[in-house]
Structure 1
Amino acid sequence: MSAKNIAVLGTGGGGRAHAARLAELGYEVHVGTRDVEATLARTEPDMMGNAPYKEWLADHPGIQLHAFADAAAAADDIVINGIDGHNAVAALTSIADQLTGKTLIDYAVPYLYGAAMDHPWPTPWGTMPKMDPCDTDSLAEQIQRALPDVKVVKSFVTQEQETVVNPKAIGGGDHTMFVASDHTDAKQTATDLLTAYGWTDVLDLGGLVAARGMEMYAHMHSAIGLALGLGHHFGVKVVR
């Protein structure tokens, strides 16, 4: 395939998974971070145990690292958002001009770490974070309201990103991915990318309001993962 410019915002494990897979598919990949110098200066693993980004980048020649705005500006049409949910709206609003008219595929979960809770949920990695917003709003809807000239799609969020980019790693790929958006053309763009990743069952959930269910599913996904054992990846299939 001919190269096409695509942006991935975020340098964590999920962003790395997308960037590497997109490069394999022939895209010109532009990764965005808050502070390029600070990202490249880190010498310790991140909170999830990922190696310093400079080391990862050296192993993936051709992938380019920029500030968020420059990465978004370099994208022809698709920008994948992996900025942590608590900071996503502010970070994306600050680069609104570079995102205008583009499809933004958002997989962030609106986790609020360290929040006080009356009934905390203990896990092996600490207390399960609170979600904010949830139930009557979603992060994706907040992003869409803040960026009315951007086509926001919620997708990817119901799987670990390593599985999103390689669905065949689980059950031969026989599981379901979801998309939701108020923009039909953007949903098709996201579906086409999922097809390139190897997905064969993509379920359109309708308007962006369905992002509420996808984001809140993150707690159920964690519960299943804890039941199966840490590190045991799995997929979800809608049987119909």
Structure 2
Amino acid sequence: MKIAVLGTGGGARAHAAELVELGHEVFAGTRDPEATLARTEPDMMGNVPYGQWLADHPGITLLPFGDAAGAADDLVINGIDGHNAVAALTRIADRLADKTLIDYAVPFVYRHQSEHPWPTPWGVMPKLDPCDTDSLAEQIQRALPETKVVKSFVTQEQTTVVDPRSVGGGDHTMFVAGDHTDAKQHAIDLLKSYGWRDILDLGPLVCARGMEMYAHMHSAIGFGLGQQFGGHFGIKVVR
């Protein structure tokens, strides 16, 4: 299958690499491929320059966002940062029409002013916007009415999403939410190919609000475990 992964951060790299391992043809999307490949310094999370990483991962084609999305059969994974996702995806709406878009972005706002800041080992915790009465996934769906948006992957680090067995032998829970049954099944099938055994369908896309707001709890658990960035752990819904 031809699958597009939009974004070049650590999470998008994890998906692209695993999808190639699974035998898919992968198209990575970025705003400006030349600028992306020209970078020589690690990114803000310490990932090696993308050009260096790409050279070590044959089978991945780097293209502008729209071309990458257009090259996909019918599955696109959104790894664009939450602050810029709606605008970037709206510009390529025609290339995403009738396709399933799995969104794992968190609507974080960095460098904000807060009356009661939450200090962390790496700075002040970003705030969520939207929050409570809306979600990033719903904003994307409204902006792209011809696209089938599914929220998933967002309650784990993406390295764990593509390798669930790395935590507890895979005995933990992944969630999906969306308004299109066929698109959710598409996401579930992909998760199963990654190795997930416990996948909980939360229902309509409005449930993305809960998944996105969990991001702060995910960070808090990581801090409690002594893990400053992200977290190598899973959560399990015990029935």
Q: Tell me the TM-score normalized by structure 2.
A: 0.98
CA distance in 2, matches of 1:175, 1:62: 30
1:82 aligns with 2:82: no
Aligned equivalent of 1:17:
14
Matches within 5 A, 1:19-58: 19-58=16-55
CA distance in 2, matches of 1:186, 1:53: 30
Secondary structure in 1 matching 2:67: helix
CA distance in 2, matches of 1:76, 1:105: 14
Aligned equivalent of 2:102:
105
1:163 aligns with 2:134: no
Aligned equivalent of 1:189:
186
CA distance in 2, matches of 1:158, 1:126: 21
Question: Gaps (5+ residues) in structure 1?
Answer: none
Aligned equivalent of 1:236:
235
CA distance in 2, matches of 1:76, 1:189: 12
1:7 aligns with 2:40: no
Equivalent residues, number: 237
Aligned equivalent of 2:177:
180
Moved more, 230-239 or 135-144: 230-239
Matches within 5 A, 1:126-137: 126-137=123-134
Structure 1 position 206, deviation (Å): 0.1
1:213 aligns with 2:210: yes
CA distance in 2, matches of 1:28, 1:237: 32
Matches within 5 A, 1:121-160: 121-160=118-157
Segments of 4+ moved more than 6 angstroms = none
Structure 1 position 99, deviation (Å): 0.1
Aligned equivalent of 1:223:
220
RMSD (Å) for aligned C-alpha atoms: 0.6
1:67 aligns with 2:64: yes
Secondary structure in 2 matching 1:56: helix
Structure 1 position 62, deviation (Å): 1.3
Question: Gaps (5+ residues) in structure 2?
Answer: none
| Paired letter, 1:118 | E
Aligned equivalent of 1:200:
197
CA offsets per residue over residues 107-135 of structure 1, 9 Å max, x none? 00000001111111000110000110000
Secondary structure in 2 matching 1:205: strand
Secondary structure in 2 matching 1:178: strand
CA offsets per residue over residues 184-220 of structure 1, 9 Å max, x none? 0000000000000000000000000000000000000
CA distance in 2, matches of 1:42, 1:26: 29
CA distance in 2, matches of 1:81, 1:43: 24
CA offsets per residue over residues 34-64 of structure 1, 9 Å max, x none? 1101000000000000000000000001110
CA distance in 2, matches of 1:125, 1:142: 29
Secondary structure in 1 matching 2:105: coil
